[in-house]
């Protein structure tokens, strides 16, 4: 079979270009097509620098040529990323945060699925791995990080840094913590609007003396509302992780959570989905697994949405107890839970590294290789 360029171009005209109402050929994305015998090479340029977008384009081109031109064609697709010259919208504010390398938002959609628990355990595990870590509790409805770190009775002190008064985060288990809970009265219901919450959070980031951090984790309130929009738009978030249980109601909300980050005005890369309460294991029968909320729902959701699946955490009584006494479960050494949180944390770090390698670099993001990670270890 001898392929020809015209047939290939005609086939590529059936693929639409993202967001332009034009096809891939009209939009100028197809830079070159070379054919010889049953082989074809397509050079293409896309704007979306994510690995997923690259892969998707490649697969779409191959499938189209196989379906419409010749099913046995040997196809090479060279995808070049023409990264936008404008900075990515998630760093538009121009406010780089000196000393803070990566900001990771932990979100869910549905409440009570374990965002704060996951945040606390990720934080202590990162710290054990040698990273410098901060947690910003942005849950204006029910800040629970102070309790999970047993610092609910502490208050951040003011320190003088180069003539300016700054808030000094409270510290425990090697993790620096600021929470909206430090500034509200216990049992006081506070009504916040998005911009107000974003302003308070901005202060906790920009008017605080965090020092050098490899990772700042932001524990978000549940939902996908106005407050989230304000927060996302005003902070240079490196990426988001979405926590869900395997249950359908939680998954539906997690889906909205992912969609929120991916919408154009927010455009925060989704690092992946974590399945919490994946199954119940009684402490005395660790081999027994009961899938009480359904099985692998969050994993399947990640596959459907084409975002990474970061791992699962079982529903274990000691996780809840550890949270309540203010000593995250991952601190207990040589336990299956410590291992589970380590595996999960490594996945998160790996996705951050990938994100920093594949997306346009920003000053807020410095780690670009795993080797780079060890370079910043204490």
Ligand X SMILES: Nc1ncnc2c1ncn2[C@@H]1O[C@H](COP(=O)(O)OP(=O)(O)OP(=O)(O)O)[C@@H](O)[C@H]1O
**Which are the contacts of 182, defined by CB distance < 8 A and separation ≥ 6?**
146, 154, 155, 156, 170
Q: Is 316 in the site for ligand X (CB under 6 A)?
A: yes
Q: Which of 29, 40, 113, 340 binds ligand X (CB under 6 A)?
A: 113
Residue 124 in marked binding region: no
CB of 116 or CB of 247, closer to Mg ion: 116
According to the binding rule CB under 6 A, does residue 310 interact with ligand X?
Answer: no
Decide: is 111 part of the binding site for ligand X (CB under 6 A). yes
d(CA 152, CA 144): 9
Distance (Å, whole) CA 119 – CA 28: 44
User: Residue 77 CB, nearest distance to Mg ion (Å)?
Assistant: 43
Helix (H) or strand (E) run with residue 298 in it: helix 297-305
Among 134, 146, 222, 269, binds ligand X (CB under 6 A): 222
Written as six digits, the tokens of 373 are 């990670």
Is 378 annotated to bind a ligand? Reply is: no
DSSP string, 159-226: EEETTEEEEEPEEETTEEEEEGGGGS-TT------HHHHHHHHHHHHHTB---SEEEEEEEPPSS-SH
- When asked if residue 319 is in the footprint of ligand X (CB under 6 A), the reply is yes
299 annotated as ligand-binding? no
Residue 113 site contact among ligand X, Mg ion, none (CB < 5 to 8 Å, cut-off depends on kind): ligand X
130 to 169: interface string for ligand X, x by CB under 6 A: ---------x--x-x-------------------------
Closest approach, Cβ 103 to Mg ion, in A, equals 18
266 is a site residue for ligand X (CB under 6 A): no
113 annotated to bind ligand: yes
Which parts of this chain interact with Mg ion (CB under 5 A)? 115-116, 139, 144
Nearest Cα to Cα of residue 197 among 176, 177, 225? 225
Nearer to Mg ion, 217 or 359 (CB): 217
| Residues counted in the chain | 378
Q: Is 110 annotated as a binding residue?
A: yes
Minimal CB distance residue for Mg ion: 116
Annotated ligand binding at 116? The verdict is yes
Task: Considering the complex, state which of residue 222 and residue 359 has its C-beta at the smaller distance from Mg ion.
Answer: 222
Contact flag: residue 315 with ligand X (CB under 6 A): yes
Identify whether the C-beta of residue 35 lies closer than 8 Å to the C-beta of residue 65: no
Q: Is 108 in the site for ligand X (CB under 6 A)?
A: yes
| 24 vs 298, beta carbon nearer ligand X | 298
Residue 180 CA: distances (Å) to CA of 177, 202, 217, 310? 10, 11, 14, 28
Decide: is 277 part of the binding site for ligand X (CB under 6 A). Answer: yes
Rounded Cα distance between 101 and 29, Å, is 34
Give, as ranges, the residues between 48 and 77 that touch ligand X (CB under 6 A): none
3-state SS string for 32-47? EEEEECCEEEEEEEEC
106 carries a ligand binding annotation: no
The whole-angstrom separation of Cα 326 and Cα 320 is: 10
d(CA 93, CA 270): 20
**Cβ proximity to Mg ion, 44 vs 231, nearer residue:** 231
Residues of the binding site: 109-116
Residues of the binding site for ATP: 109-116
Residues in the site for ligand X, rule: CB under 6 A? 108, 111-117, 139, 142, 144, 222, 276-277, 313, 315-316, 319-320, 323
């Amino acid at each position: 079979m001898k392929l020809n360029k015209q047939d290939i171009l005609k086939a590529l005209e059936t693929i639409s270009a993202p967001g332009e109402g034009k096809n891939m050929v009209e939009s100028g994305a197809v830079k070159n097509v070379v054919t010889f015998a049953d082989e074809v090479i397509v050079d293409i340029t896309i704007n979306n620098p994510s690995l997923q977008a690259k892969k998707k384009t490649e697969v779409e081109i191959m499938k189209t040529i196989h379906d419409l031109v010749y099913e046995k064609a040997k196809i090479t697709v060279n995808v070049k990323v023409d990264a936008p010259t404008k900075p990515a919208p998630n760093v538009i504010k121009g406010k780089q945060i000196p000393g803070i390398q990566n900001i990771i938002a932990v979100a869910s959609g549905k409440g009570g699925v374990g965002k704060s628990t996951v945040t606390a355990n990720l934080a202590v595990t990162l710290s054990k791995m040698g990273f410098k870590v901060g947690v910003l509790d942005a849950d204006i409805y029910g800040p629970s990080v102070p309790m999970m770190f047993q610092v609910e009775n502490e208050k951040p002190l003011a320190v003088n840094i180069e003539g300016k008064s700054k808030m000094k985060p409270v510290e425990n288990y090697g993790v620096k913590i600021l929470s909206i809970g430090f500034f509200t009265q216990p049992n006081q219901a506070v009504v916040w609007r998005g911009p107000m919450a974003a302003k308070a959070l901005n202060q906790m980031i920009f008017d605080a003396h965090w020092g050098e951090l490899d990772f700042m984790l932001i524990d978000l309130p549940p939902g996908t509302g106005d407050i989230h929009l304000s927060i996302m738009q005003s902070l240079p978030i490196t990426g988001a992780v979405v926590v869900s249980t395997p249950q359908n109601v939680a998954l539906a909300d997690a889906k909205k959570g992912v969609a929120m980050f991916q919408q154009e005005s927010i455009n925060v890369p989704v690092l992946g989905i974590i399945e919490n309460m994946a199954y119940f294991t009684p402490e005395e029968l660790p081999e027994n697994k009961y899938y009480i909320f359904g099985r692998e729902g969050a994993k399947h959701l990640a596959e459907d949405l084409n975002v990474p699946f970061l791992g699962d955490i079982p529903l274990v009584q000691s996780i809840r107890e550890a949270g309540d006494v203010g000593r995250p479960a991952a601190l207990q050494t040589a336990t299956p839970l410590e291992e589970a949180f380590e595996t999960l944390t490594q996945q998160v770090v790996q996705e951050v590294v990938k994100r920093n390698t594949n997306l346009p670099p920003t000053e807020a993001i410095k780690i670009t290789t795993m080797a780079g990670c060890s370079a910043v270890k204490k």
